[in-house]
Amino acid sequence: MKPKQIHEAMEILTDAVRNWQTPAVTIVSQREGDPFKVLISCILSLRTQDRTTGPASTRLFSLADTPEKMVELPLEEIERVIYPVGFFRTKSETILSICRILLDSYQGRVPDDLDELLKLKGVGRKTANLVITLGFGKQGICVDTHVHRICNRWGYVATKTPAETEFALRRKLPRRYWLRINDLLVTFGQNLCTPVSPKCSRCPLAKMCDRVGVGNSR
């Protein structure tokens, strides 16, 4: 994909994703507008499919929707309500740890600074950027496996890790797309540009994709 084609690609994707399910964490951000709920939903979503993340988030927030309320819950109760998200026991401990830090160091509020978010247990660059963009509406680029894979598959970047992709996109991607690229490519990657055997014959971006690393496709 040539750099100038990114504008056309974003326009096409914006239209295409209307036919698919919105990512679970995005739904939380749109419905709640609460950085805390975005942060906790992000933790739940790691290595977990959206169809599990969404209901688990709803169940948990029905019991505790603030750090103050969350730390009052027994660990076993959190485990019970978020099951069957992946690594539910570890995530329950992480959620309680994050809430204690928020209460002790941030007056119970989620910080809106990337470096401060990265100090929280279990929060990596993907989660921190998602909180910045979806929770606070501030400029950031959230790069998960879908964004990393697709941008490399297009030939738009040539990177080896999601972190490298984030910094490459910060240098190259027009800022108007920073907030949107994760939502667009997560949805696109879940439904069409899949990790294995992508549906290239149906892809509206086929004419501009370099298909880097693509073997079998449909």
The domain locations on the chain are 3-21+141-208, 33-136
pLDDT classification of 167: cutoffs 50, 70, 90: very high
pLDDT tens column, 126-152: 999 999 999 999 999 999 999 999 999
- Collect all residues with Cβ–Cβ distance below 8 Å to 165 and sequence separation of at least 6: 143, 147, 148, 151, 152, 157, 159
Residue 33 has pLDDT above 90, yes or no: no
Cα 28 to Cα 31: distance, rounded to the nearest angstrom:
5
**Secondary structure, 3-state, the chain:** CCHHHHHHHHHHHHHHHHHCCCCHHHHHHHHHCCHHHHHHHHHHHCCCCHHHHHHHHHHHHHHCCCHHHHCCCCHHHHHHHHCCCCCHHHHHHHHHHHHHHHHHHCCCCCCCCHHHHCCCCCCCHHHHHHHHHHHHCCCCCCCCHHHHHHHHHHCCCCCCCHHHHHHHHHHHCCHHHCCCHHHHHHHHHHHCCCCCCCCHHHCCCHHHCCCCCCCCCC
Cα 28 to Cα 1: distance, rounded to the nearest angstrom:
32
**Do residues 120 and 142 make contact, with C-beta atoms less than 8 angstroms apart?**
no
Cα 184 to Cα 131: distance, rounded to the nearest angstrom:
16
Query: CA nearest 155: which of 20, 18, 9?
Result: 9
Q: What's the Cα-to-Cα distance from 146 to each of 187, 189, 208, rounded to whole Å?
A: 9, 6, 18
Cα 154 to Cα 136: distance, rounded to the nearest angstrom:
29
pLDDT tens column, 82-134: 999 999 999 999 999 999 999 999 999 999 999 999 999 899 999 999 999 99
Farthest CA pair distance, the chain:
54
Residue 187 has pLDDT above 90, yes or no: yes
| Predicted structure pTM score | 0.90
- CATH of 33-136 given 3.20.20.140, 2.40.50.100, 1.10.340.30, 1.20.1250.20: 1.10.340.30
C-alpha torsion angle, residues 107, 108, 109, 113 (rounded to 10)? 70
pLDDT at 147: 97
Which numeric CATH code is attached to 3-21+141-208?
Answer: 1.10.1670.10
Q: Looking at residues 147-165, what average pLDDT do you find?
A: 97
**Do residues 123 and 113 make contact, with C-beta atoms less than 8 angstroms apart?**
no
Q: Which residue did the predictor score with more confidence, 3 or 87? A: 87
pLDDT classification of 32: cutoffs 50, 70, 90: confident
Q: Looking at residues 175-193, what average pLDDT do you find?
A: 95
